[in-house]
A and B are shown apart, each in its own frame.
Chain A
Amino acid sequence: MSNKIYDVIIVGGGPAGLAAAVGAKEAGAKDVLIVERDVTLGGILEQCIHPGFGLKTFGEELTGPEYAHRYIEKVLALGVEYKLETMVLEVGKDTVTGINSKDGLFIAKGKSIILAMGCRERTRGAIMTPGTRPAGVYTAGAAQRLVNRQNMMVGKRVVILGSGDIGMIMARRMTLEGAKVLAVAELMDYTAGLTRNRVQCLEDFGIPLLLSHTVVEIKGNKRVEGVVIAKVDPATKKPIAGTEKLYECDTLLLSCGLIPENELSKAAGVKLSRITSGPEVNQFMQTNLGSVFACGNVVHVNDLADNVSEESERAGKYAALYAAGKLPAGKEIPTITGSNVRYICPQRINPNEPASLFFRAAAPQKNVTVKVFAGDKEIYSKKLIKINPGEMEKVAVKPEDIAGAEAVTIQVL
C-alpha cells in the first residue's frame, strides 16, 4: 500500500457504501476508496432479484441488482477506487486495516472514514428456538443467496418464522421455484414487513399468515422433519399451552429481524445506541469520533434501500466536507423519543444546521398526530391516519425553529 492519504475510505460496498462514495465524490472528495469483502460491489442488493427498488430514487420500479448497477456505474464513472474480496480487520480514526490475497495485510490512511457494513440476520440461536438441531434451518437471507445467486434450492416444504420483508419475499420466491410454503408465523400481532409484500408475496399465492404465533419446537435429526407452531398471548408473547400444531416440513426459514453489524465500530470506540444497536450520529451521519461517519443499515435497519441511499449520500457529502475541513462543528442537542416513538435517527443534532429526523413508532396506531417540540415549544404537528413500526417516518427541522432549545422531542399522540 502506498502512502497515499484518501479523503474518504468507505467500509462496505453495498447500497450504503456505493451511495456514500457518490455523495463524497459529488461534494468534492478527490480520493475515495471502497473496501468490500464480497467478489462484486452491490452487497445484498445482488441477491434481491425482486422488484420494488428505486421508486423514490429513480421514479421507476427496479430489482435489487439493477438498482445496484446504477450506483456501480456512477461510482466507476466518478473514479472511485475499490478493493474486492478484502476483509477489514480494524478501523481507527484515520486508518482502515484490511487484508486480501493480493495486497496481504495493509493499512489505508484516510482523512475521514465511513462505516457502511450493513446488518446481519437474527439466527436461531439469537431467538432461542427449542428443539433438535437438524439441517434445513436457514435465515431467509442465506436461503435467498443460495437460491438466487448460487442455484441451490434449499427445500421443498417450507415454514417461515417471522414476517420481515425478506421472509415474505422468500415465501414468494420458494413458491415460484416449486416449493410449498405451508405458513408464515409471526410472533407479533401485526406484520413486520411492508404491506405491499404481504399482498404480493403472501396473499397472491394464498400463503397463510399466522399472526401471534411462533415456532415452539423443531423436529428431526439429520434433516428438519417438522416444526411445532403455537399461538402466543399477544400481551406476554408466551406460547399458549394446548394450541400447538405440527407442520410437517423439511425447511424452516427465519426472518426475525436484522442487527446492525458493528464489531468494527465497537472496537474503534464508536458510541452505539442501545435501541438501534448502531452508531449514534448527528444529522451529518457523524459518530462521536468526529472523523468517522456511518450510514445505512449499520446505523439503523431501514425498510427501503432508497432511504439507505439518501442517508448514505448525505454521509458521503459530510465526510468529504470533514476531510476538507469544512464541516460545521459546535454544541449539539439531543433528540428525545416521546410517546410511541421507538427511536430517532440522528440521536443528536447541530441546531445551527437543518436536520431531517427519521423515526419509527414503537407500536402500530391509528389516527395519530405527530408532534415535534423544541424544548417545550411545539414546532410541528401533522395528522396521520396510521403509523406502523415497519415504515419509517421523517420530519425536517429548521435552525430558526429550534434556536435556543436544549433538546428536540418527537411525540406520537
Chain B
Amino acid sequence: MTTEKKIICIICPQGCNITVKGDAEKGIIESVEGFTCKRGKAYAENEFTHPLRILTSSVKTEGSSFPLVPVRTRTAIPKELLFEGMEEIRKITVKGKVSCGDVIVANFLGTGVDLIASGDVEAK
C-alpha cells in the first residue's frame, strides 16, 4: 500500500521537512522530497522503511550499590520493538557488581543486538 510520511530530518540543526512516498512494508520508495543533502535523503528513506532507535532504560539490581543500573541496546533496534523491549527489561534483575559494557541479554528480542549495561554498580 502506498503511503506518504512527513519526516523532520535530525541529521543537522536545519531540520528539513522531508516527505517520503512509497510502500514502507515492501521497502519501496516512490519519491523523496524536501531534503537538501544526501545524508538527509538517506535518513528519510531509512526512517520510512525501517526506523531504528537505541533503547535505553535501567534494570533492577540486588546486592548492589544502587537500586538500578542503566542499560542500552548496543546499537539501534526496530522502533516498533521499543515497548516490547521495555516489557523484557522490567523482568530483569542483576546481582552484585555490574560494569559498563557487560552483556545483560545477548541477542535482545532476537534482533541480533545485545542489551548491555551502560553504567557501573558495585557489590554491596
Q: Given A49-B119, A63-B72, A63-B118, do A176 and B82 touch, yes or no (CB 8 Å)?
A: yes
Contacting residues of chain A (385-403) with chain B, CB-CB under 8 angstroms: 385-386, 388, 391
Q: How far is the CB of A51 from chain B (nearest CB, A)?
A: 5
Q: How far is the CB of A84 from chain B (nearest CB, A)?
A: 12
CB < 8 Å A-B pair total: 73
Report yes or no: B56 in contact with A391, Cβ–Cβ below 8 A: no
B49 within 8 A of A: no
Residue in chain B with minimal CB distance to A66: B118
Q: Given A49-B119, A148-B68, A203-B8, do A388 and B13 touch, yes or no (CB 8 Å)?
A: yes
By a CB distance below 8 angstroms, the chain B residues around A195 are 8, 10, 13, 15
Q: How far is the CB of B121 from chain A (nearest CB, A)?
A: 10
Report yes or no: A149 in contact with B68, Cβ–Cβ below 8 A: yes
Contacting residues of chain A (35-65) with chain B, CB-CB under 8 angstroms: 46, 49-51, 61-63, 65
Q: Size class of B's contact patch?
A: 20 to 34
By a CB distance below 8 angstroms, the chain B residues around A50 are 56
Residue in chain A with minimal CB distance to B119: A65
By a CB distance below 8 angstroms, the chain B residues around A178 are 86
Report yes or no: B66 in contact with A149, Cβ–Cβ below 8 A: yes
Residue in chain A with minimal CB distance to B121: A40
How many residues from A make CB contacts under 8 Å with B? 29
A348 within 8 A of B: no
Q: Given A49-B56, A69-B100, A195-B8, do A385 and B14 touch, yes or no (CB 8 Å)?
A: yes
B57 within 8 A of A: yes
A-B contact pairs, 28 of them (CB 8 A): A46-B119, A49-B56, A49-B57, A49-B58, A49-B72, A49-B118, A49-B119, A63-B56, A63-B72, A65-B100, A65-B118, A66-B72, A148-B70, A151-B68, A176-B55, A176-B57, A176-B86, A178-B86, A195-B13, A196-B10, A199-B8, A199-B10, A200-B53, A203-B8, A204-B53, A385-B36, A386-B14, A388-B13
Task: Write the residues of chain A forming the contact surface with B, with a CB cutoff of 8 angstroms.
Answer: 46, 49-51, 61-63, 65-66, 69, 148-151, 176-178, 194-196, 198-200, 203-204, 385-386, 388, 391
